[in-house]
Structures are given as structure tokens and as C-alpha cells.
Structure 1
Amino acid sequence: MSILNSFLIKTSSVKKICISFFASQFTLLIMMLYTFPIINSQIGTRAFDLQNLGYSLSTANQIVNNLNNQTTELYLFPQLTLLDVFYPFLLALFLSSLLFRLGKLIGKDNKITSLLLYLPLLAMAFDYFENICIILMISKSIEISKSFVLLSSTFTVLKSLLTTFSWIVILIYTIKWVRLKIMKKATKSSLSQS
């Protein structure tokens, strides 16, 4: 049994899945209601983190140039170095734990499911890499070049794709689980009638 599987056995109870879900969504809510509206209003577009399809060098320059000192400080803290440290971890914990539980419930305890458990963790890693790049850009600790923006943008796109794919797999597994429950109920019903 892998280290990840033994960890997910401890985190995949209904109670713990609910806790990680509400904790991740509460953190997201703070970002969406507090930090991102201020940042987006200041820069005149969506923040780096919200540009799911990536961004160009001109967009990166526009964002950095439109940030004033106060908004830069807000973007650095609490957005990037507090909220966006907890959120990727909590979301990955929720998605992996739920995927693990659903895999067990539908009997898909195989190599494919074991590999799929890593998707949210990879998304989390890319989110952290993205954050590092954003910090370097908005703090002007690095020259914003085309290659660096491409790297940062790639992290953003990969984070978004892997998170979306994780949700799609969970949806598919949930549908399979519901179908299995319906089939079991129908089988029990027909057996009790015969």
C-alpha cells in the first residue's frame, strides 16, 4: 500500500471529507469576496490566479504596472502567502479523499484510480509554483520576460486543467456509485417479491 493510500484511509471518512470541503470552500469564499475583487478592480482585469487559460507578456505587464503599493501588499498577504497556501492544500485533500472513497465504493480500487488520486496533488503543486512566479513578478524581484511569463502561465493552465479533470472524474465516479445503489435496490426489491 502506498503512503498516499494509507494517508487517504485516514482522511476519507464522510466527516473528514465534509470538513476539508467546507474548509476549502470557506477559504475560496474569502478570496472571492474580499481579496480578488480589490485586486481585480485595481488592475482592470482578472488576477493571474484567475486567468485559467493563461496570460501573455502584455497581460502580465498590465497587471504588474496597474498594481499600486497597497494592492501589491494585499496580493502578497493575505492572498498569496496565506489564503493561497491553505486553499490548494485543502482542495487537494478534499478531492483526493473523495476520489479515494468513491473508488472504494464502486469497486474501482485499481491502478488507474491510484494514479487518479495524484491529480489533485499535482494541481496543488502547480498552484504553488504559480504562486512563486506571481510573487516574483508583482514584487518586481525578477525581470518579466516572455519565457518567465510562459512558465508562470503554464503553471496556471496546468493547475486549472488538473483541478477540472479531478472534478470530472469525481462526477463520473459519483454517477457510477448512484447507478450501483439503484441497481442494488432494484435487485433487493425483485428478490423480496419473488
Structure 2
Amino acid sequence: MIKKINNYVSRKNTFKRVFFLFLATNVIYGIIIFVTIPKVMKYSDGMKILDMLPMGYNAEYVKNLFVTLGENGRHTYLFEQIPFDMIYPGLFGLTYSLIIFYLSKKINFDNLSIYKIALLPMFAGIFDYLENIGVIFLLTKFPDLNEKVVGTSSLFSLGKSLFTTLTFLTIITLLFLMVSKKIKMNKK
């Protein structure tokens, strides 16, 4: 089974596909960072929105943020920011998993562990989706905030941050190993 998955991923995981997915993922990310988040932040009086709090948040912060955002800010968050943030996690998970596979093949790291490591971006994406669902729930139920939902959504934010960080550390490590391998080969 693992060999079949390995063969399929190896055949389909070309540089062009990975590069195209990387571009698509980062176009969506760029829209989020440079367009939709700034639109919401116009209403926030300098408070960071929930998506930008990697260490989580509490019910008091959420209440203060939502009050500060006002009806227009909450509407912008729900109907302009969240839709793009519902596209991004899936793209992130797929793209960065394929990047991990691609880099692993380039350094001949052909091991069962790579399949486990390649799940890191998928988990980041799953936690991002769960965080988004929590934020949607909080926005639609405001001013009735449920502390358990806030706490759960905050935990999802922490999970997203953890797995995103592990993803990028993995990619940096694989890039370092790939460059080291090239340097060694050039010295021979």
C-alpha cells in the first residue's frame, strides 16, 4: 500500500505542479494578508483579529474585539475574510505536503517516516478549518459568546500555529539537507 502511494505521489509530484500549487496558495495568502485582514483591521482599532493570534485568546478578548469591530467590522470579517480563509487551509495542506514529498525525493530520503512528516501541513490545514468554524460560530452568535466555544476555537488556533511552525521547520531542514547534498556532490 505504501509503495503504491509512493509511486503515485512520485509520478504526480512534478516541479511544475508543486510550483503552480505554491503560487495559487500564496496568491490566496496574499489576498488574506494584504486585502481582507486589513479591511477587517480598519474596524478593530489596532486589535488583532482572531486569525492573527497564534497563542490563542480568551472570551474577554473576543468580546472586546467584536464590540470594537462593530456590526460592519464583524460583517466584513464573516463575509470577506472568512471565505478566503476557507480556501487557504486546503491549499496550504496539499501544497506544503507535496513540497515535503518533493524535497524528500530530491535528497533521496525514501523512508516511511516521510509520510508521517508530510502530514504536518495537513494537520495545520485541519486546525485552521476548525479555527475558522469556531470564528464563524462566534461571529454569528455574538453577543452571546460561549466560553467553551471560545476556548475550543483558541485551542484550534494553537494547533494551527504549532503544525504550521513544524511544517516550515521541516521544509527548512529539508532545504538545508538538499543544499548540503549538492555542495558535497560538487566537491567530488
- Determine if the TM-score, normalized by the shorter chain, exceeds 0.5: yes
Q: Is the 8 A contact 2:40 2:81 kept in 1?
A: no
Partner of 1:74 in structure 2? Answer: 76
Q: Distance in 1 between matches of 2:154 and 2:5?
A: 28
Partner of 2:14 in structure 1? Answer: 13
Could you tell me how far 1:142 is from its partner in structure 2? Answer: 8.4
Gap runs ≥5 in structure 2: none
Partner of 1:192 in structure 2? Answer: none
Partner of 2:59 in structure 1? Answer: 57
Show the 5 A alignment for 1:128-139: 128-139=129-140
Q: Distance in 2 between matches of 1:182 and 1:146?
A: 54
Partner of 1:105 in structure 2? Answer: 106
Q: Is the 8 A contact 2:130 2:156 kept in 1?
A: yes
**Structure 2: which amino acid aligns with 1:46?**
K
Tell me whether 1:156 sits opposite 2:149 in the alignment.
no
CA deviations over 1:95-130 (Å, ceiling 9, x no partner): 101100111121222122110111111111111110
CA deviations over 1:67-102 (Å, ceiling 9, x no partner): 32322222122321x211211111112210110011
Percent pairwise identity: 28
Gap runs ≥5 in structure 1: 188-194
Q: Distance in 2 between matches of 1:71 and 1:131?
A: 16
Partner of 2:37 in structure 1? Answer: 36
**Structure 1: which amino acid aligns with 2:153?**
S
Partner of 1:94 in structure 2? Answer: 95
CA deviations over 1:117-168 (Å, ceiling 9, x no partner): 1111111111111001000111116842332211100101110110111010
* Corresponding pairs, count: 186
Q: 1:99 to 1:36 in 2, by over 3 A?
A: same
Q: Distance in 1 between matches of 2:35 and 2:180?
A: 40
Q: Distance in 2 between matches of 1:129 and 1:43?
A: 23
**Structure 2: which amino acid aligns with 1:25?**
N
Q: Distance in 1 between matches of 2:54 and 2:27?
A: 21
Q: Is the 8 A contact 2:63 2:143 kept in 1?
A: no
Q: TM-score w.r.t. structure 1 length?
A: 0.87
Q: Distance in 2 between matches of 1:10 and 1:136?
A: 41
Say which is worse superposed, 117-126 or 5-14, in terms of deviation.
5-14
Q: TM-score w.r.t. structure 2 length?
A: 0.90
Q: Distance in 1 between matches of 2:102 and 2:161?
A: 23
Could you tell me how far 1:7 is from its partner in structure 2? Answer: 6.0
RMSD: 2.0
Tell me whether 1:120 sits opposite 2:111 in the alignment.
no
Could you tell me how far 1:6 is from its partner in structure 2? Answer: 6.0
**Structure 1: which amino acid aligns with 2:42?**
S
